[in-house]
Amino acid sequence: MQRKMDPLEWFGFGLQDLKFAAQSLLRNRGLGLAALLPLALGIGASTAVFSVADTVFFRPLPYGDPARLVWVAIQFPAFKAEFVPSPDYVTWRRGNHTFEELAAMQLNCCSAMILNGADPIEVFTASVSSNFLSCLGATAMLGSTFSKEAELPDGPPTVLLTNRFWQTHFASRRDVPGHTIALNGHPYSIAGVLPESFVFPVDAKVDMLTTLSVSPAASHRDRTMSSWAVLVSSWAVLGRLKQGITLAQAGSDVAVLFAASKADLPQAFPTDASLVVEPLQQHRMGSARLLLLVLSGAASCLLLIACTSVAGLLLGRWAGRSREIAIRAALGASRGRIVRQLLAEATVLGVSGCVMGLVLTNVTLRGFGHYAGRQLPRLSEIGMDGRVFGIALIVSAITIVIFAVVPALRVARTEVQSVLQRAGGFGLAGGQPAFRRALVGSEVAFSFVLLSAALLLIETLWQLQYGHLGFQPEHLIAITIPLQRPAISNDNRNVAVDRILSRIRSVPGTVAAAVGECTPVSLGPIVGAFSRSDRPLPEPLHRGVRVAQCGIGPDYFRSTGGLVKRGRPFIDADFDRPGTAAIINEAAASAYFPGEDPLGKQILGDSQGQWKTVIGVVADSKNQGLNMPAMPQVFLDQIALYSGSNFQFLVRTVGEEAHVTAAIRAQLQNDYPGTFAKFELLDDRIQEMTTGPRFDSMLVTGFATISFLLTMIGVYSVLANSVQQRTREIGIRIALGASPWGVLQPIVREGVLLIGTGCAIGFLGARLLLPLLKDLLYDISPTSPRTYAAAGLGLVISGTLAMYAPARRAIAIEPLVALRHE
């Protein structure tokens, strides 16, 4: 009867086991490295993904008492948008009974110009209500926050600088509050500087905050106000609940106010408009829920493949020690003692893999910050802190359990007598090879799912970047020039446009140049209602269709490479009579002239009763984004060059764009010194617009590639082990005259069975899981047969190559050597 050991003895024996395991692995460095690499990759990748998921789903927002922060909006399904019209915000802020604060911010951040120095500086601003920071529980690090008067239409124009902008552009000077900057040509006083910890509640680049114009009179809404005017003056709204108030109580409170708004202006709210009142943290998750689910699944697959790969390696190593283990058992070592020694090796590997994995986690998180763009929210809040280390320890512990416990128990259950009676020390009793084959088969199945997902995302990226764009981005330069610079704004703007165009066209390498209010991948400054002279149309919020209006100059479609499908482009005679002609895109033709010929129709009447005649239909371009259908768009022969707008010049070039860009920039500085001009290649814009899909495909493809390589290594190791165990049998068969194919047949059959079974199971898993990717894909079905065929073919071809070395070794066995083999 064994005596019971106290905890100190257990600890001592544990340390002894760990020391022996480390020494054993150091003597067999090849196996140690072969096991550490997949473990580090699996632990590192999964820890990084799970850390992001933890931040987005569970880590509290970086504001005071974040559990009381609420997102309030009206959802308009036709536009896939949530916002609150500004008059309703004023009424709701004053009339609610459940919020301490109800703050507003503009839906999109804007580009502006600081014109204080000799060279203008482009900045990104976000307009908010004066109580925005107090609603978030934030304050200024220097100076003060906005005063209540700052949001009034005639209030003092003030700005708050972000900490990063203050450091980079004001050299961290503490006397900045009270200074004045010229923003878009208008003086603004700097009220203060935000703390470094402040995070804007929407993922956008923000350099400074300005105030919205919140007019108390806006609550007294004109009942004849058009629903489109309500739409364009809409904001995002955040609220801070009063102490003791629940989300349900706040929802009921705002529902009463929403009903009053609909009664006040029914034409502004379609019947499917609904109220949204949800925790701000839940809203911040947004579309990242699906992406994180996909990435977590991919990381889990990679981790499981790594675990099965290491489990196979350890099972092979322990199988090779079966005679030693049997002798130790015969000499009195208990099954628990043997398992403990085997688990000590697994623990050393697991801890080492965790340390290496943390290094990879840090690298991966940095890569997320660089490549993810706005795909993943709150990345700036993630660092190598205690939560990340905790996640790594949990993942490592789970990993050790998965790859070590089951193989160790199987080895420990080996019958001592059967092993000692066997002539050789290779392999364990029958069940162990089957278990290894099951492990590798599961690796093939996981790899099939990951490869299929990666192929779907790669094809999506290809379609977005190289599919039908509706224009030719190659050798196309967009030049943006704000109209705030006195050298231009005080000049006749039409003269300035003509002068700049003539300078651009004179630059060698320029094929065509045009001016416009939009580019092929933007909508233009106005998104308004559509009207036709022969038929009244429903209010735009009810019909769910918007129309973008964009004024363009001569040669616009020649410069962009846009294709006029019907009718004709603008000609010089049209610009002699501006405001009389229009060209629509195919989306507008389908939305407003279904089954009709739009040419010659009268559209977009003004207050003087003047209509514009449709003279052409142009191919759709990606004006809403690469993964969205084109919005109906009308191109006009008149550009509204008002103060605060921008010139947009589109230049088609041949040769090196950099030389053309430098020459145009020099011409501009010569004619208009100090003018800010932003040059952008449309190819680069397309690259930027595909940042999200590129990140998705790059990450999942990386996981799939690693899992694929580990799987092929697993296939090779199983077949090589099978050849080693059958060396004596193969030698006898060759000596008795077996043909090479007769020798190869069992090896090939085993490999085909491994890969075929794994692919079949993986196919079922892919059909079940990959439809979850639907919202991340574009122009391809998640059950695309060619995708599954490509994944299966890749695994079959690679598996065949993995069979080659073991098969060749089997054929090359010498019978005499094999007969002496133990």
* Residue pLDDT, tens place only, 524-580: 766 777 888 887 776 555 555 678 888 898 999 999 999 999 999 998 888 888 888
- Do 690 and 552 meet the contact criterion of CB atoms below 8 Å apart? no
| Residue in 242, 247, 240 with CA at minimum distance from that of residue 277 | 247
- Do 349 and 25 meet the contact criterion of CB atoms below 8 Å apart? yes
DSSP label of 628: S
Sequence-ordered strand ranges (E) for 49-116: 69-76, 81-85, 99-106, 110-114
- pTM of the full structure: 0.80
Residue 573 Cα to chain centre, angstroms: 47
Regarding beta strands 476-482 and 99-106, do their DSSP bridges make them parallel or antiparallel, or are they unpaired? unpaired
Please give the Cα distance from 155 to 144 (Å, whole number): 16
Res 4: pLDDT: 57
Helix, coil or strand: residue 616? strand
Q: Buried b vs exposed e over 344-356: b needs ≥16 C-beta within 10 Å? A: bbbbbbbbbbbeb
The three-point CA angle 572-573-575 to 5° equals 70
Q: Which runs of consecutive H residues, i.e. helices, occur in 126-246?
A: 132-136, 163-170, 227-232
Measured CA to CA in angstroms, residue 475 lies from 378, 646, 661, 698, 741 at distances of 36, 22, 11, 27, 59
Strand partners, 513: 651
DSSP label of 404: I
Question: Which of the residues in the chain have pLDDT under 50?
Answer: 1, 220, 222-225, 227-228, 423-431
Res 649: pLDDT: 93
Res 430: pLDDT: 41
Please give the Cα distance from 439 to 406 (Å, whole number): 11
- The label of the residue with tokens 């915000």 reads 89
Please give the Cα distance from 154 to 215 (Å, whole number): 9
Query: What is the dihedral sign for C-alpha 737, 738, 743, 744?
Result: positive
Res 630: pLDDT: 87
Strand partners, 679: 479
Please give the Cα distance from 158 to 485 (Å, whole number): 21
Mutual orientation of helices 431-466 and 691-725 as an angle, nearest 10°? 160
The three-point CA angle 812-814-815 to 5° equals 130
Q: What is the largest distance, in Å, between two alpha-carbon atoms of the chain?
A: 109
Contacts with 135 (C-beta within 8 Å, 6 or more apart), sequence order: 69, 100, 101, 102, 103, 238, 239, 240
Q: Report the chain's C-alpha Rg in angstroms.
A: 34
Res 754: pLDDT: 85
Query: What is the dihedral sign for C-alpha 2, 8, 12, 13?
Result: positive
Res 505: pLDDT: 92
| Residue in 477, 473, 472 with CA at minimum distance from that of residue 657 | 477
Q: Is 133 left (phi over 0), alpha (psi -120 to 50) or beta?
A: alpha
- Do 539 and 497 meet the contact criterion of CB atoms below 8 Å apart? no
Tokens of 69: 């922060």
